[in-house]
Amino acid sequence: MEFNTSLKEQVKSLYKHHKTVFFHAYFAIVWPIAIWLMYLIFPNQVATRIQLSRIIFIGICIQILILGVQKRTNVIKTIREYFTGTTSPINLAIFRIFLFGTIFGEVNHNFSKVVWLSQFPKDLLVIPLGSKWLFSHIPINAALAQTACWLLIICSFTAMIGLFTRTSAWLTVIFSFYVLGIPQFFGKVDHYHHLLWFAAILGLSRCADVLSLDAIFMAWKRADRGQIEPPGLSRIYALPLRFIWILFGIIYFFPGFHKLWTSGFDWAFSDNLKYQIFSKWLEWYQVDGWNPLLRLDGYPVLSRLSAIGSICLELGFIFLVFLPTTRYIAAFGGLLLHNTIGLAMHIKFLLLQTCYVAFFDWYAIFKWIGNRLFPIDMYVVYDGNCKLCRRTIASLKVFDIFGRLTFVNALNNEALTTHNLLWLDYQALLADMHVVLQRKSWKGYYAYRVLAPRIPIFWLILPLLYVWPIPEIGKRIYRRVADSRTCSRPQAEIPETKKRNFQLPIYSQVLTVFAVSLIIGNSLLGLSGRTGAWPLACYPTFSVILGPQVESLEVVPVSTTGTLLSFDLKDFKKKMGPVKFNTLARNVFYPTKKTKTAIEKEQQVSSLWETISRNYPTLQQIKSVQFYNATLWSDPEKRSENPVARSLIYELKL
């Protein structure tokens, strides 16, 4: 009896001091039970389950809001630390290289496709939301598209290598809006909008302070003032990345929201995911015979767990990015999600995956790699009173991502003593740059060759530095440059100037206003589910529950003798993209925004056939073309039974 009384008192005391924990733990148990009861009580009432799913979802959101209010001190502290945190310029520079490299690669890969699409008849185009104001004044044609592609290739490349970076970045945004916008004009919007958002943010940031050609010029200016150190950890390098993380969260949040709001928990707990997968398999099978490496349909439990896991990740991503530990969970979870979908559905989102480099601390990663590749300290001793030497050292430090080189001014006796370098010949140090590793030293050309392995940018040319006649040429060039120095060498060291403050409030303020505008704009479009917009949009939601059958367009030419000709759209669909073609066909035959007159519809159908037939020059003597709506089984096991049904939707007389 005393034991029971004591236990009750302990429970009461525990509850009194941890009411918040008990409250949220209680509801954390209630919600799964509520979902289970919903399916138990309403096994066949889909509409009822959707309404109950919305109520449960709202309840969970209210609980999270209550938790945030109760823990508001911690929430405010977390948000403040998030936006005031610092990072290395290396992290922002790495993201710059990958982002503009991605745009460069995408334009090169789709150059011919963009030019080809720019030649489509204008009555087939569907200008996405947000672009009509511009494209109603700027023509879309092959000549302009080709020119814009070349300009975009040049600007994205110069932005990637960091040459006139801010100008290159903004020109990349402008040309990307046009070039990457052309494939968006057929009802199907390809979601790589983030490339423009992130490029614009980088255009307002100091993303080229290291690992760039611009950084070399800035290093020379610093060196002329006696400062060889590149900029260090700062908020101005962290802020752009933090806004990019939030935009990542918005990209995921609204698709997850619409899945639950439109289809309820049925999206995860029904056969919906299986049919979503089947429909994608069929699309790509019709084009190139593609079959998946991973068949989730054979594992119903795993399929449902994957579905609910993807919703949880999408909804939680934006909250996970605010804490350093959970940020990595979000990053690895997102990469796992995309690669799983790539294996299962052939939807890879590679243009988004490359941007995941923004989530990793490359400064720490490179330091870790450098310490393991080069455990022994290497010293670079230079003449600090030589302008050319200071510029050289400052340039090397711009690319010293491993941090395994220690640069020592030969005129700084204290530094020489600290690093145990007094055994070196003082006059020789003033005549040539020296590299020291333990008790070995190299000078001149050989010094550069020895330090080159510790700076990755030199790895591509490193083997050439040992191949005749490069060493002989290198030694002569070094000697001529070293001997032609006109700088004086006083005994007293030139004092280093105070390190420059790189924080420019105007850039931070403009960046903040612009990034907040992006966040608000994408949130509004995300809430309304506007996926067909450019350059802001809600990303694909896949929120509608699919069934076992899908619709497809069949095109049947009729010869002058009345014979139905066998005709396969596979090559055309592959060139255009199966989803884009199907969307274009639906827009022609089943418009959603306005009612077409018979003449307008005939003109559109005629333009569609003209575009298709242009790619099949062997088609001759055609009297008419019949367009059928075919109903197909999406299940791979039932493909032999296709089509389930066919109905003539239009016949074009030629």
Q: DSSP string of 330-382?
A: HHHHHHHHHHHHHHHHS---HHHHGGGGGGS-HHHHHHHHHHHH--S-EEEEE
pLDDT for res 498: 41
pLDDT in tens, 407-438: 999 999 999 999 999 999 888 888 889 999 99
| Among the ranges given (67-76, 158-167, 265-274, 486-495), the one the predictor scored with the smallest mean pLDDT | 486-495
pTM over 0.85: yes
- Measured between alpha carbons, how far is 442 from 178 in angstroms, rounded to an integer? 53
Chain-centroid distance of CA 338 in Å reads: 12
Across 152-156, average pLDDT: 97
pLDDT for res 286: 81
pLDDT at 11 over 70: no
pLDDT at 281 over 80: yes
459 C-beta neighbours (distance < 10 Å), count: 10
Chain-centroid distance of CA 632 in Å reads: 35
356 C-beta neighbours (distance < 10 Å), count: 17
Contact of 471 with 202, CB cutoff 8 Å? no
pLDDT for res 19: 60
- Measured between alpha carbons, how far is 437 from 376 in angstroms, rounded to an integer? 7
Contact of 646 with 629, CB cutoff 8 Å? yes
- Measured between alpha carbons, how far is 550 from 634 in angstroms, rounded to an integer? 6
pLDDT in tens, 548-590: 999 888 888 888 777 777 777 888 888 888 888 888 888 888 8
pLDDT at 133 over 80: no
Share of the chain above pLDDT 90, in %: 54
pLDDT in tens, 285-333: 888 777 777 788 888 888 888 899 999 999 999 999 999 989 999 999 9
Contact of 238 with 86, CB cutoff 8 Å? yes
| Among the ranges given (205-214, 252-261, 638-647), the one the predictor scored with the smallest mean pLDDT | 638-647
- Per the model's pLDDT, the better-predicted residue between 385 and 505 turns out to be 385
Please give the DSSP secondary-structure letter assigned to residue 615.
T
Across 537-552, average pLDDT: 91
Q: Could you give the angle at the alpha carbon of 284 between the alpha carbons of 635 and 583, nearest 5°?
A: 100
Q: Is cis: bond before 469, omega within 30 of 0?
A: yes
Highest mean pLDDT (candidates 217-221, 608-612, 614-618): 217-221
pLDDT for res 6: 67
> In whole angstroms, how large is the CA radius of gyration of the chain?
31
Q: Partners of 409 in the beta sheet?
A: 382
Contact of 392 with 382, CB cutoff 8 Å? yes
- Measured between alpha carbons, how far is 384 from 410 in angstroms, rounded to an integer? 7
Question: What DSSP element (H or E) covers 224?
Answer: helix 213-224
pLDDT for res 563: 77
pLDDT at 155 over 90: yes
pLDDT for res 582: 86
**Amino acid, single-letter form, for residue 373:** L
Chain-centroid distance of CA 24 in Å reads: 35
pLDDT at 528 over 90: yes
Share of the chain above pLDDT 70, in %: 92
Residues 6 or more apart whose Cβ sits within 8 Å of residue 162: 93, 96, 207, 208, 211, 212, 213, 214, 215
Contact of 409 with 493, CB cutoff 8 Å? yes
Strand-strand pairing, 440-443 and 434-437: antiparallel
Contact of 402 with 367, CB cutoff 8 Å? yes
Phi-psi region of 542 (alpha: psi -120 to 50; beta: other; left: phi over 0): left
pLDDT for res 484: 76
Q: Which domains does the chain carry?
A: 2-70 (no CATH), 367-483 (3.40.30), 549-653 (no CATH)
Average pLDDT over the chain reads 88
The backbone torsions φ and ψ at residue 648, rounded to the nearest 5 degrees and listed phi first, read: -75, 125
Please give the DSSP secondary-structure letter assigned to residue 126.
B
pLDDT in tens, 494-527: 444 344 444 446 777 899 999 999 999 999 999 9
3-class SS of residue 368 = helix
Q: Where does the pLDDT of residue 132 fall: very low under 50, low under 70, confident under 90, or very high at 90 and above? A: confident
